[in-house]
Chain A
Amino acid sequence: MSSRSEVRTRTPARELTFAQAVREALAQEMRRDPAVFVIGEDVAEAGTPFKVLSGLVEEFGSDRVVDTPISEAGFTGLAVGAAMTGLRPVVDIMFGDFLTLAMDQIANQAAKAHYMSGGKLKVPLVVRTTMGATRRSAAQHSQSLHAWVSHVPGLKVALPSTPADAKGLLTTAIRDDNPVVFFEDKMMYSLKGSVPDGEFAVPFGVADVKREGRDLTIVATSSMVQVALEAAALLEEDGISAEVIDPRTTVPLDTAALVESAKRTSRAIVVDEGPRRYGVGAEIAAVIAEEAFGYLDAPVRRLGAMDVPVPFSPVLEDLTVPTAAQVRATARELCGRT
């Protein structure tokens, strides 16, 4: 994306929930471009289990809000073919865990078609799905698998952390001529925030500083941005000024902004809800270590989900996800406060 500026026609903003912001982006793009359609399980009258899509079928009809059988591979594959031949599908994968069922279609088909065909075939496809634990849904409805798709060349990956970013990034995803996997943390659907009215697109590959600071950079993704902001508020009480920066897309990744922030503050923590091992946090930490090493006063630290399947029991589940208290403690350690 060449432009770093946001595209908007009108700027009055209202408070919307994250779910409403997603729905508004979809509805606006469907009004703008008749090639856009939504396809997935229980997307029409049910509006998904999270009610994110409520009202769309009433406006656009069942030809453009298409309920499917429980066949993730089948309808994702169908969407790849539809995207190659003139439509712009937005696939709904109800739980991120079910990406595994559609993985051949995403990783072997959608991601590779443009390159393998020498640039002839295009796959303007959005796969919307969820991530995030602590909903007491256990190991097969709670995973955050954004690192998997971030690892596949040919896919773009967006991780909005606010209602405004949800609207702006989804608009960009739908207009992009490439396959985009779009992760919504299901724990944020009722999060409220100011969202611009009218057309609003947030470019990919442009990080956003969610809070400015001097002593420490906290790079956070998706709902971990909210955790990082909470930690930054606590750190202020400790006399530590933390910057919170959200890359918003892992592919493309705004390495320049992350590295610049780390160089300026000389300390960095990466907080991401995927399992810590081989994760998005590892990649971002490596980028900062490679490009800002001489400026750092301490090694880059990673906070991620524990490397265990997500347990059901609330007592156990809550142990697996990074918390504001952990971010605060890690930050204090990095800044030499014990």
Chain B
Amino acid sequence: MMNGPWLEAYRQMVRIRIFEEHVNVLYRSAKMSGLAHLYSGEEAVAVGVCLTLRDNDFITSTHRGHGHCLAKGARVDRMFAELLGRVDGYCRGKGGSMHIADQERGNLGANAIVGGSAGIATGAAFSARRRGTDQVAVCFFGEGALGQGILYEVMNLAALWRLPIVYVCENNLYNEYTPAVETTAGSMRARPEAFGIPAEEADGQDVRAVFAAASRAVTRARSGEGPSFLLCHTYRFHGHHVGDVNRGYYRAKDEEEEWKTRRDPLQVLGTWLLDAKQAAAADLERLQAEARAEIEAGEAFALASPYPDPADVDQDVFA
């Protein structure tokens, strides 16, 4: 008997990994335009956190948001369609990679302003409580957002008003092309703690560790005990965006190899599942094959989806 949703976690992480591989190819083969910030390497954070949430709980996401979106239950085909600017996309092609919102699953949107969704997530938590529900909000952001003032303003509000929110900081060590150690004075977890917000650190490559910490934070939020801060140490396998190929000036190849070969969240969980006899190799292979098939079908759907009608350009400016 398994003591956690670990096969489901594996399934979701594999989906995200393969999805991002396809995005990489789409972008490099010039089928996708714009910007693509890949989540590969950080899958355990989104999946570990979202496995603790209900469908009607809220999340807000970042420019590196495909993983959060999928983990919260989005469909692959409509995501690809959005990335390709097609009419079947989640935002009818108007948002693109950095703005996917999936309100039916509580995803209030990815956000291309670093730290830009901290207010929205905190407001969703405020609203959840005001409307008398037990919904919880999760605000995902990277460690780069620790440089943005609004994060501190809303953590102060959330602490004052004991709002049901979890701030999830994905520390992937780099603010775009700059090491976080060069941009971040003092201690990361001391920041929320200064507001009286309990902070916990987790190995962001270990989905079981993230899940355990997130469960405590979400339980606190749901039971009215107020906000928490979850600091997940993780790593971005690709560059800041797909075009960020020559990275030698800000991070070493050896470091990347070390994380990819020894700290890959899929490998960490896969190895554990096999060692603990929670799954057989064939189970994992089946999940991989299923994810690959789903993603290939989703991509084909998106490539066949029409572009928006030109008449759509001035629709939905106002509700």
Contacts and interface: CB of A to CB of B under 8 A. Distances in A.
Interface in A120-164: 120-122, 124, 153-154, 156
A119 B316 contact: yes
Contact of A109 (B93, B116, B153): B116
B184 to A, nearest CB: 20
Most chain A Cβ neighbours within 10 Å, of B89, B108, B121, B160: B108
A69 B124 contact: no
Contacts of A208: none
Given A69-B153, A69-B156, A75-B157, A81 B91 contact: no
A117 interface: yes
A120 B131 contact: no
B109 interface: yes
B316 A81 contact: no
Most chain B Cβ neighbours within 10 Å, of A79, A82, A109, A118: A118
B137 to A, nearest CB: 8
A244 interface: no
A84 interface: yes
B122 A81 contact: yes
Nearest to B151: A74
B101 A120 contact: yes
Given A69-B153, A104-B113, A116 B101 contact: yes
A109 B118 CA distance: 11
A37 interface: yes
Interface residues of B, number: 44
Contact of B122 (A77, A113, A117, A178): A77
A120 B92 CA distance: 10
A192 to B, nearest CB: 34
Contacts of B319: 114, 119, 122, 124, 177-178
Interface string A81-123: 1111111000000000000000011001100011111111110
B119 interface: yes
B116 A37 contact: no
A87 B153 contact: no
Contact of A82 (B60, B93, B126, B156): B126
B316 A115 contact: yes
Given A69-B157, A78-B123, A78-B157, 9 more contacts: A69-B160, A73-B119, A84-B120, A85-B128, A104-B116, A118-B94, A119-B92, A120-B103, A121-B109
5 contacts: A75-B153, A86-B127, A120-B101, A121-B108, A177-B319
Interface of B: 58, 60, 89-95, 99, 101, 103, 108-109, 111, 113, 116-128, 130-131, 137, 149-150, 153-154, 156-157, 160, 315-319
